[in-house]
Amino acid sequence: MGYRQFRNGLANVIYDEDIVSADCEKLFDLAWLQANSHCAQVERGKAVMFEHDGVELVYKQYHRGGLAGRLVEKTYLYSRLANTRVWREFNMLRAMRALGLPVPRPAAARCVSVPPLVYRGALITERVADSKNLTEVLCERPVENADWEKLGELIARFHAENVYHADLNASNILLTGSGDFYLIDFDKGVIRDSLSPQDAESNVSRLRRSLDKLQGKHSPFHFSDDNWRALTSGYASARNKIRDYTEK
């Protein structure tokens, strides 16, 4: 058992046969999704949760368009399937899970060529059980400083593996009922050969900006400077331990 890939007309599909079967292409059909989820309408960028064969899954849709002159390599020209956003995120999740990092398990991805130059795609991941994103949690209750410290340590683990999250914000962090954190939504993320201190700092700073913005938007929103000090303390401590270990 493992990962399988097939082509059906203009569509390329990759899937984990330990989670879904070879007929998984039906899971990408919008009418099927609307009928088998509680979502009234499937929209780009909106996560749709559904269940299939006893497994809870999450669907996310991408879209890429534009003129030929604007479709350079870094914007994932469809002529190179491996560079499409959907294929890159699917394989990045596979790589991070192989490193033991807490991210959702990729179940399937589908990329459809739209001649002459563009594509559309979608990704399906296994839902992290008993979890809410950090934004939802902080609107409901405070999070203990020990957990903030744990989150800082986790971000340091990702950075130690040279993982760059392009949009690290509170809504892209999950917290489970048992107190475990997961990072999600690695669209446009990358595992670098070496993550610079500047990129690591930009990830952490982006998270702080998102928390400050959410605090101004929601009331109540249970976040304080003391929480942030706990996170940065956990981050710095973990980075120092990793550095000491690698230098031995």
Mean pLDDT of 168-189: 97
> pLDDT (tens digit, 9 = 90+) per residue, 132-154?
999 999 999 999 999 999 999 99
Lowest mean pLDDT among 11-15, 105-109, 128-132, 240-244: 240-244
Q: What is the C-alpha separation between 67 and 107, in angstroms, rounded?
A: 31
Q: What is the pLDDT of residue 42?
A: 73
Ranges of beta strands (E only) in the chain are 3-8, 11-16, 48-52, 55-64, 106-114, 118-126, 131-133, 163-164, 173-176, 181-183, 190-191
pLDDT at 76 over 50: no
Which residue in 23, 29, 147, 167 is the catalytic one? 167
Which of residues 42 and 24 earns the better pLDDT score?
24
Q: Give yes or no for a contact between 158 and 165, defined as CB atoms under 8 angstroms apart.
A: yes
Helix (H, G, I), strand (E, B) or coil at 219: coil
Q: What is the pLDDT of residue 46?
A: 74
Domains of the chain: 3-126 (3.30.200), 131-247 (1.10.510.10)
Indicate if 185 belongs to the active site.
no
Radius of gyration of the chain (CA): 19
pTM over 0.85: yes
